[in-house]
Amino acid sequence: MLADKYDSVRQQILSACQSGQRAPESVQLLAVSKTRGADEIRQLHACGQTAFGENYLQEALDKIAALQDLPLEWHFIGPIQSNKTRAIAEQFDWVHSVDRLKIARRLSEQRPDELPPLNLCLQVNISDEASKSGCTPEELPELARAVAALPRLRLRGLMAIPEAETDPARQRATFARVRTLMEALQAELPQLDTLSMGMSGDLEAAIAEGSTLVRVGTALFGPRNYNSAGTNSEANPGADTSATTNV
């Protein structure tokens, strides 16, 4: 069942790339495994998936420890509190949800010297939603310049979660705004290469507008299981999930 869903999502990405005249390898699939058990991650890894995204820190740390025998790439995609930056800096390969210089500085200071630079995306609140994390488009250029100058970090690009929308044209219009922000930044920071946007319900529109990484959870694993083994008090329906709503 999980293998079938994985194949279906891969085909969906392939079809979107073909429609947009893009190379399939230009879009990475990030499997959002929050609330899912380590056994399911093992199953998906056996299908060929290596990159996994987590929202809840303690849950993620438990899985990282349980799966350390596998060559996995771990992405933190949830809201970041200051008291959690050290563990994120030490245990993750990517962070998608940085929207404040204070958090970026802490990640930079706490990234171990023996590890490669921590890949980082800045989260933009592109739809100006009060319930969502992210800097404003106006704040973005100054924040990007400051973060790019920090040691032990590698600023890779932008992450955005637009307001939920079912109309493909409107989906594309919002994703196009994110792409335009990225292109403006690349004039000054040409090393930027990642647009983390698009989830289960809108990945086709995101790919059409240049996404290089889509974050998919429900289409792979099914509905969230907040009572499953391996989750904890962080992972509950009332928790702050603003960084990955409707993944």
Calculate helix-pair angle for 140-148, 101-110, nearest 10 degrees: 10
Let me know if domain 2-221 sits in CATH 3.20.20.10. yes
Question: How sure is the predictor about 131, in pLDDT bands with cuts at 50, 70 and 90?
Answer: confident
Q: Distances in Å between the alpha carbon of 89 and those of 30, 46, 53, 71? A: 19, 27, 15, 18
pLDDT above 80: residue 193: yes
Distance, in Å, from the CA atom of 171 to the CA atom of 178, rounded to the nearest integer, reads 11
pLDDT, tens digit (0-9, with 9 covering 90-100), for 93-104: 999 999 999 999
pLDDT for position 230: 45
Distance, in Å, from the CA atom of 77 to the CA atom of 121, rounded to the nearest integer, reads 10
pLDDT above 90: residue 226: no
Question: How sure is the predictor about 231, in pLDDT bands with cuts at 50, 70 and 90?
Answer: very low
Distance, in Å, from the CA atom of 133 to the CA atom of 79, rounded to the nearest integer, reads 7
pLDDT, tens digit (0-9, with 9 covering 90-100), for 76-86: 999 999 999 99
142 by Cβ neighbours in 10 Å (0-12 / 13-18 / 19+) ranks as exposed
